[in-house]
Amino acid sequence: MDFNPELCRNESEVESKLIVQYLLPQLGYTPDTWHQEVAFGSIRLDFLAFATQVIPFVLDADSPLSVVMEAKHPNQNLNRHTRRLKTYLTSLNVRYGLLTNGKEVRIYKGAKDDINLVFQCTGKQIQSKIDEIKALIGRDSLRQPLIQNASLTQTPSINLPNTESDSPIIFENHRQHTVKTIAVYHNKGGVGKTTTVVNLAAAIRKKGKKVLVIDLDSQANTTFAAGLAKFDDEELDDIKDSNVRHVLESEDFYPIQEVARKSQFNNPEIDVVPSHITLMQYENELNQLDYSKLMLIQKMNQLEDPYDVVIIDTPPSLNLYARIALITADYLIIPSDLKPFANQGLLNVKTFIKKTNEFRKFINKDPLEILGVLPCKISTNARFVQYTLPKRIEVIPRRYGLKVMDSVIYEREELAKCTEQVQIVGNMEIPDPRSVLDFKPDSTSAQEFELLAIEVLQWIGMQP
C-alpha cells in the first residue's frame, strides 16, 4: 500500500491513514498486537504496539517489547511534543517512541532518563525509508523470547483483554472513574458563554480527557459552533428529531449515547448533545413532568462508557433549562465581561444558585461548587488592561462575594473568525467552524484556553 502525506489534513487522518493503514501493517503489527488510546493513570498514549504479547504484560527495562506512537496535527511543530514523549518513554520504560505529524516522522530511543533521536525523515520519504524503520521498530526486530514470571512490582502491568471481542480496548490504571460535570452559566447574554464552552471543551479534550458537551440553550449557539448545523435548508434539518429535548422528555428512550453526535470542530473529536431552536416551545410541557429536572442526571448515570468531563451550556435566563443544568452539574463557571449590567446580573445568579442548592439538598446532592467568575470578552487595550481591568476584577469578590478565576479570555479576532469558517461545496457555503486551538493553535487565544483548561482540571481534581 502506498502512502501520500498530502492526504493527512488533520490529526485524525495522521492516525488513520499513516499509522493504522500504513505503518502498523508495514512494520508487521497485526490488529491483536496494537491498541489505540491506551491509558496508564494520567498518561494517555495514541498507540501502543506490542512485539510479543505476554499475559500479564510488564513494561520494564528488561522488556523492550513495545513502541509508543504519537500522532499530531500536520501544522504542529514536533519539537513541542518531544518532552512529553520523553515522559512517556521514561515513565513506562518503553524502548522506542515514534512521533509524526504526517509531514515528518521521528523515532526516539530511550536512554536512562533521556531519549535520543535515532531516525528522521519527511512524510514523502517514508516509503523509501520503510526498511530502515522496520530495522528499528518492526515487530520482527523487537520480538524476543516470552518473559515468564515477570516481576509485577514497581512497574505498570496490563492484563490484556480478549482481543476477539468487538468492545473497545482501554487500559486504565485501575482508578475509579468519576465524571466531572461543569455548567457554564450567566443570566446575562453576550458575555462569551458559547465561546467558553466550545474552546474549553476543546482544550480539555486535547489534554487527553474524554469530553461531552450538552447544549441546553434553545438558541443552539453551541450546537452551531460545534459544527452540527451543516444543513443549508430547514427541510434538511437532521437535528430536530433527536436533540436534548428528547433526552429530557423521555424516560425510556433517547439515551445520551444515541443522541450525542461526533463533532469535528476539534481534533480529537468531541461528543455533543445538540440543542434546537424548537426547545423553547417545550419548556411548559417539560415543566409539567415531575421527573424532567432529574432526567439529565438519570441519563448520565446510565452511560455505559462514562466521560471524564461533561460541560453544559445554558440559556442566559432563569428558566427550566438553566435550572436543570445547575441541578445536574458539580461545578459552575460564570463567564462575564465584567461590565455593569453583567455585574448586576450576578445578584440574580447568586439567588438562582441558592434556590438550586435547596433542591439539590432535597435530593441528597452536594451544593454546587462555584469555580469562579471567568473574565471573558475582555478588551486588549493596554490602558484598560493596566488600569481598569484590575479594578473591575476587585469589585467581584468585594461586592458580590464571588471569587474570580485566574484565567482571562480576551476579545481577539481569531476567536470570532474560528466560528465563521466554511466549506465550499459546489455553489454552497457550508458552516465548518473550528475551535481556536485548531484554527490557530499557536495563537494567544489558544494559549489562554489551554491555561483555562489547566486551571479547571486542577480545581476539579483532574490535574493534567
* Domains assigned to the chain: 5-158 (3.90.1570.30), 180-459 (3.40.50.300)
Reported as type and span, the H/E element at residue 24 is: helix 24-26
Q: How far apart are the C-alpha atoms of 257 and 114, rounded to whole Å?
A: 42
Contact between 368 and 326 under an 8 Å Cβ cutoff? The reply is: yes
Q: How far apart are CA 101 and CA 19, in angstroms?
A: 10
CA distance 107 to 117: 6
Contact 109, 115 (CB under 8 A): yes
More confident residue, 36 or 132: 132
Instruction: Establish how many alpha carbons lie within 13 A of residue 277's alpha carbon, considering only the half-sphere containing its beta carbon.
Output: 5
Is residue 257 predicted with pLDDT exceeding 80? yes
Instruction: Tell me what the mean pLDDT of segment 170-192 comes to.
Output: 73
Give the model's pLDDT for residue 39.
72
Residue 154: pLDDT over 70: no
pLDDT of the residue at 157: 35
Is the model's pLDDT at 221 over the cut of 90?
Answer: yes
Nearest-angstrom CA–CA distance, 67 and 47: 8
pLDDT reported for residue 463: 73
Picking from 269-283, 292-306, 325-339, which range would have the lowest pLDDT averaged per residue?
292-306
Mean pLDDT to the nearest integer, 205-222: 95
**pLDDT tens digits for 32-87?**
778 887 776 667 788 888 876 544 444 544 444 589 999 998 888 898 888 889 88
Task: Give per-residue pLDDT as tens, 390-445.
Answer: 999 999 999 999 999 999 999 999 998 988 876 666 666 666 789 999 999 999 99
Span 225-247, mean pLDDT? 82
Label residue 417 left, alpha or beta by phi (over 0 means left) and psi (-120 to 50 means alpha). alpha
Query: d(Cα 334, Cα 239) in Å, to the nearest integer?
Result: 28
Question: 8-12, 149-153, 337-341: lowest mean pLDDT where?
Answer: 149-153
Residue 149 region by backbone torsions, left for phi larger than 0, else alpha for psi between -120 and 50, else beta: left
pLDDT for residue 425: 61
Residue indicated by cell numbers 520494564: 60
> Which pLDDT score is estimated for 391?
95
- Rounded Cα distance between 334 and 311, Å, is 13
Segment 128-149 shows an average pLDDT of 75
For position 177, what pLDDT does the model report? 45
CA–CA dist 245, 262 (Å, integer)? 18
**Pair type for strands 331-336 and 369-378:** parallel
Q: What is the pLDDT of residue 65?
A: 55
Q: d(Cα 400, Cα 255) in Å, to the nearest integer? A: 39
Grouping H, G, I as helix, E, B as strand and the rest as coil, residue 245 is: helix
Element (H, E) at 120: strand 114-122
Rounded CA separation 296/181 (Å): 11
- How far from 114 is each of 35, 51, 63, 117, 464, CA to CA, in Å? 25, 23, 17, 10, 21
Model confidence at 254, pLDDT cuts 50, 70, 90, reads very high
Between 148 and 87, where is the model more confident? 87
Q: How far apart are CA 95 and CA 63, in angstroms?
A: 8
Using only C-alpha atoms, the chain has a radius of gyration, in whole angstroms, of 24
